Every structure is written in C-alpha cells, then in structure tokens.
Amino acid sequence: MTRLRGTLQRDVSMARYTTWRVGGPAARVYEPADADDLAVFLGSAEAVPPFFWLGLGSNLLVRDGGMNGSVIRLHRGLADIEDRGAGRVHAGAGVACAKLARWCARHGYAGSAFLAGIPGTLGGALAMNAGAWGGETWPHVEAVETVSEDGHRRMRPPEDFRVAYRSVEGPGNEWFVGATLVFTPGGEPAALQAEMRRLLGERARSQPTGMPSGGSVFRNPPGDHAARLIEAAGLKGSGIGGARVSEKHANFIVHDGSARAADIEALIERIRETVEQTYGVVLEPEVRIVGEPANAH
C-alpha cells in the first residue's frame, strides 16, 4: 500500500481551526500533502467516516461535543494556483479566496475581485456558490475536479451541478479538490489591485473584521437583507453568554473570548425566531452547524 504523506492528528480541538474560535474536539484531522495523497488516504483504513471537509473554518460552527469520523483539512496541501492562459486559472480547493483574488489581480485577470470578500477557501466557495460585492463563484467555473469517498478523482463540467444563490447540488459522495475558473484577461494589474484594496477597506469599515466571527450568519431573503431585518427587530448588540450580534453589522455574531458554541447556536435560533415572529420572514442560516452538543458525551 502507498504510504500516507500527510499529517494525521487525533482528538484535536476544532476551536483551533474555526474562525469563531469555538468547538469541541475532532476525533481525527487529516491534512493531505496533495490531491494524490488525499485519494490514498480516502482508500486507507485511517479514513473513518463520516468525512467533513474543512478549509479556513469560516461559515462553520462546531458544537461543543465535537465531531466523530474524519475532518479533512485542505488549506495546506491543496493550495496550488496554475495559470492556464487567456484568463483561465486552475486552483486547488484549499486556496484561500483572498489569495486567489490577489493572484488574479497581479496577472491582470479582471472580474475576480469579489473573491477577496469571501473569508474561506475555493472549496468552500464552490460548495455554497459563495459571493461578495455582486459577484459569485460558479459563473466563473469552467470545470471542477472532485474526489469520491473511495478516492476516485474526476473532472466534471458545471452542467453536472444545480447551482443557485448560496446553494450547490451535485453528485453524491463527491467533494471538490480543485477547479478551473475563467476571468477576463488584459486588465491593468495596478488598477485591479487598487480596486481590491478599496473593496477590502469598505468591508473593514462595515464588518467586524477584528473579532472572531463566522462570517455572514444568514442568507439574504429574496428582495431584502438579513442584516436589515435583524437590526429592525431590535437585536443589534444583543447576546447570549459570550456571543453577541455585532454592533457593526447585524448579520454577524461575534465572540468576545468566553463564548461556547452553544451560546452562538442559541443566539442564531433567537434571531431566527424573533425575525419570524416580527416580520414573518424565515431566515435561512448560511453557517453550517456540525458536531454533537456537549451533553451528548
């Protein structure tokens, strides 16, 4: 059998790997050396299901009781970027979207600045059709590379997936390991970099970038904004335990250093119930909640 080249850790606190800085222990965390090593791992006895795919840990709440199975962390091993010419870029699923945006700007590939506003990796952006500043991921996808639960790798066209706002459905038991994206070549790198800095400055002024958070908590409902509804319902600044609705942007929940995952989850539910009772709008979480409650063990 081919030897594993990645790193396997056991009983790892997920607070280390999530942007909220909360969460119980994962039974095992594997960081593959590259896509080939990932395929070998999935076919090995060390790969214990269920599998959870982790990028930078944004838009993710891990409950205090932790996670069974195997967490596969892609940020280090699947972080390659390759220029394929004429605005085409192939990138691994572990590449940070902000890094990919900077790379595209340096190469004069226009239409990529929105990636800098996505606080995760390309794999996560593909999984949820992430977007920012009016741009979304999937309109730029030419092809994706996936791996199945048994380690088989495939190239798939966008037509194999049903894509909507913050929603992507595709073949079962396959996960993204990379994608080829298409942007507009011929841009002026200095101008593209300046535009990206401007947008990032706007984000820093309007979002709580200096405190642990999970990114946007709720999807925007049709024709409205989740932040407007949350603020109008009087929830801005309210909290449970060490978690509170950001004073800067109502669709963010920030962690003051003392929160448990249970506090954040309870605050998410309070927001949902209050907005529904007040306005009749059911907010759908953009955040993924995984793992077991603390009292499950």
CA distance 234 to 119: 27
46 tagged catalytic: no
Which residue out of 216, 260, 265, 272 is catalytically annotated? Answer: 216
153 is catalytic: no
- To which H or E segment does residue 192 belong? helix 189-206
Torsional class of 295: left (φ above 0), alpha (ψ -120 to 50), beta (otherwise): alpha
DSSP characters for 115-156?
GGG--SBHHHHHHHT-EETTEESGGGEEEEEEEETTS-EEEE
Gap between the Cα atoms of 100 and 102, Å rounded: 5
* 248 vs 228: CA distance, rounded Å: 12
Bridge partners, residue 179, by sequence: 91, 144
* DSSP annotation of 224: S
Q: Which of 153, 166, 203, 288 is catalytic?
A: 166
Tokens linked to 170? 């595709």
* 246 among known catalytic residues: no
> Which entry of 31, 145, 174, 286 is annotated as an active-site residue?
286
Q: How far is residue 213's CA from residue 57's CA, in Å, rounded to a whole number?
A: 10
List, by residue number, the catalytic residues: 166, 216, 286
